[in-house]
Chain A
Amino acid sequence: MNWRSRLTLLCILAIPAFSGYPLGYFQETIVPGLTLGWIAYALMVHGAAFGLLGPSSYRLALIISLLITLPVVLLGSAISLIALFTRDWTTAGLNVIASHYAALAVTMLTVIPLALAIVAAIPFHRMENRLLNQAGGVSLFQKSALMFTRVCIHVIYFVIPEILEVLREERILNRIMSRQASPGAPKLSLQVRASILVRNMIQVGVEGICSSVRHIPLWAEEIARLPGRESQASTEQNHRNNPD
């Protein structure tokens, strides 16, 4: 399957997430907050992402989705529970919070892998190559497109792999999953492990943003320096006027 077919298929698959159609017809609740429609849709998205991206890219997309979803859901539900506890603790209120965050988790774990699969299906490198191989200069629109592809390529093939390498080397996941910080050290409570997770997620987020934007001034300068269509035309005109 070529990239155009893959992209088309993934874009069609994204329609229910944006429009709600036909998910609204399958409102049967499986557990509070989760409908049959959303669960079936989530399974379909993950099946398609696995088939179209392959196991290693799918795993990467899943890890990124989990890293984004978990802190949002855990922190959000914790804050809501604290608010509920301090104001008016009722079982009904608890049910509302539980169903809201269960729905949010499933939505995020469906939409984020789908968005990542769409981004992965676009051949940014080929686009960048084509934009740079313009006989007769690079137009302003092409320069803007070049900047856009540059940012995408940098984030996908530079920022994320680099962060993952650091996380792997630090064995962050093992540290959060294991009960001890190191052999012989006192056991870590769930609360401590949750705080390690949240702290690391914030640091990863800050690093991700800093690394993503860091080279923008350099790219802007280098892309702006590429010969535009007008400068190309004027250079040729000068050559015609002054052949020597």
Chain B
Amino acid sequence: MNSSLDPISTYFNSYEDREAAFRRAVGFSLARRHAGPAVFWRDFNQIARSETRSSKNGSVAYIPSNPRDCLAFGTPRQVLMASLMSAANSGNISEKHVLETARQFEISELLSQPIRTLSGGETVQLALAKTTVSMPLFSHVVVASPFTWLSNTNRHLLEHLNTVCKRSRKPLSIMALAGEGDLDTIGPSDPFIRPSPSQISFRLKMTDVQIPLMVSLHPLATRGAYAAIENITLDLISPCLMVGDNGQGKSLLARTIAHAVSAKGHVVLESPHAQQPPRLLFQDVLSQTMLRSFGALSHKPPKGHSDQIYSCYCELQRHYANARKQAPPHQSVPIGDWSDNQHSLVDIKTILVAARLAGKPSALILDEPDWGMSRSSAVAFVSAVIATAHRQQTAVMLISHKPWWYTIAGSLLRVTRSSVAGDQTSASPVFTIGLELETNPS
């Protein structure tokens, strides 16, 4: 699959196992967010007490599963400048060095953009650039789940880091989830069960959509700058797959459709539940656990009392278990019991999906649904979500840069971002996102 990277890669079946191994290898990284405030503060206290971060084998350069967590500054230029200064132990770093590094890692156009607005793949590209230039400071490098974020066209950057590590005789280890880097589409050996009804038609209409960028892109754009989405009316079939390379605006598009960002214009989704707004599961779902009190959710409803979220959770759990039977069970992790004290990432994702499906939304959008999951778990999870959503006539949209999902997609939409040249200080779009209906190669 990834010939030169395979010998240095270790694969895990669950997010929790991979995180535990990563924390052991790195010494520590950041306080864990997914395990609740008590664990967060315990970790934070432990980290704050440690004087230096080092593992048994010396200092480690690391890229965690959320690559943003290893970038300490606000923009790529600042990250690269600081790393070059630290590595050279000199304040006299010229802009030329920064530009050269950015060019190598194909992030030249992003140098002034806030890291928050970079796509997942672009963030990994920056983290790889930072690790490469910081190499003299560290004895080895550990990278967690890079294939989740990097599209196939950008994997050579990881190979480049491997080459640099070999040249400087510093070991590189990759900790990934089982099947994470696969490029094959879903086949008979994957735990996917066709839903019934297998397809639901819906229409997506976007007119004059403008997403103001003032807050998110402050240093780049001044007042009035915005991203635009081309006017479209598309007749789609669920599950609809939105594909595109890193940085094409897939996640921004998803947030606009789900009204998670404030945008001007009209976004209309006509589906069997058109009166309900579409809902979205972010790529890094952990931030969405903010308003879910797991303690309160985990109590079983009293007998005779119907609880929509609990019913959806049970249905998802049932479909997931059925799908899992189609593949070796050790490659995926089961969805835990509703009343478990400690929830795994799969449980958390299931609770968040159940909470969304309980409101019968017009559509459920899953942004990179495989984040934090092995291939088997991800396929079984998506299979369960589609089955549950279709049973209640809710359309499903998947966003991914991976080719896995082509075989199950009812419609295939390609997302492309085109930069608009010109004066960014005036009220003009900084970039435009286009959507094109493609013929499914599968």
Contacts and interface: CB of A to CB of B under 8 A. Distances in A.
A, B co-complexed = yes
A214 B86 contact: no
Interface in B218-255: 218-219, 223, 255
A213 B41 CA distance: 10
Interface stretch (A11-19, A87-95, A124-132): A124-132
B308 interface: yes
A12 B358 CA distance: 51
Contacts of A154: 74
A132 B72 contact: no
Contacts of A129: 75, 77-78
A227 B82 CA distance: 9
A31 interface: no
A132 B291 contact: no
Interface string A3-34: 00000000000000000000000000000000
A210 B33 contact: yes
A218 B70 contact: yes
B291 A166 contact: yes
Which one of B44, B77, B88, B92 has the highest number of Cβ atoms from chain A below 10 Å of its Cβ? B92
Interface string B368-410: 0000000000000000000000000000000000000000000
A57 interface: yes
Interface in A68-86: none
Contacts of B349: none
A172 to B, nearest CB: 7
A129 B275 CA distance: 47
Interface in B166-191: none
A226 B134 CA distance: 12
Nearest to A185: B308
B91 A225 contact: no
A157 B218 contact: yes
Contacts of A226: 82, 85-86
B69 interface: yes
Contact of A166 (B30, B40, B91, B290): B290
Contact of A232 (B30, B91, B219): B91
B30 A215 contact: yes
Interface string B206-226: 000000101110110001000
A56 B427 CA distance: 14
B53 interface: yes
A166 B260 CA distance: 7
B4 interface: no
Contacts of B216: 157, 161
B91 A136 contact: yes
Which one of B37, B81, B85 has the highest number of Cβ atoms from chain A below 10 Å of its Cβ? B85
Nearest to B28: A217
Interface in A108-146: 125-126, 128-129, 132-138
Given A169-B288, A215-B30, A232 B72 contact: no
B439 interface: no
A110 B346 CA distance: 44
Interface in A207-244: 207, 210, 213-219, 221-223, 225-227, 231-232, 235
A99 interface: no
A203 B223 contact: no
B72 A235 contact: no
B31 to A, nearest CB: 6
Interface in A34-48: none
B260 A168 contact: yes
Contact count band on A? 35 or more
Contacts of A210: 31, 33, 37, 40
A199 B116 contact: no
Nearest to B217: A157
Contact of B89 (A128, A206, A213, A231): A231
Contacts of A150: 72-74
Contacts of B291: 166-167, 170, 172, 200, 203-204
Given A150-B72, A214-B33, A182 B358 contact: yes
A214 B91 contact: no
B279 to A, nearest CB: 7
A136 B92 contact: yes
Contacts of A163: 290
A227 B91 CA distance: 6
A120 to B, nearest CB: 9
Contacts of A200: 291
Contact of B86 (A207, A213, A227): A227
B161 interface: no
A169 B258 CA distance: 6
Q: Which 8 A-B pairs have the closest CB atoms?
A: A222-B72, A169-B260, A137-B91, A125-B219, A207-B290, A225-B86, A217-B47, A165-B260
21 contacts: A125-B218, A133-B81, A135-B91, A137-B90, A137-B91, A138-B85, A158-B116, A162-B116, A169-B259, A169-B282, A169-B288, A182-B308, A182-B360, A183-B275, A203-B291, A218-B70, A222-B72, A225-B137, A226-B82, A226-B86, A231-B89
Given A171-B277, A218-B70, A225-B86, 16 more contacts: A57-B215, A128-B73, A129-B78, A132-B78, A135-B92, A157-B116, A169-B258, A183-B275, A199-B293, A206-B37, A210-B33, A215-B30, A215-B69, A217-B47, A227-B91, A235-B89
Interface of A: 54, 56-57, 60, 125-126, 128-129, 132-138, 150, 153-154, 157-158, 161-163, 165-172, 182-183, 199-200, 203-204, 206-207, 210, 213-219, 221-223, 225-227, 231-232, 235
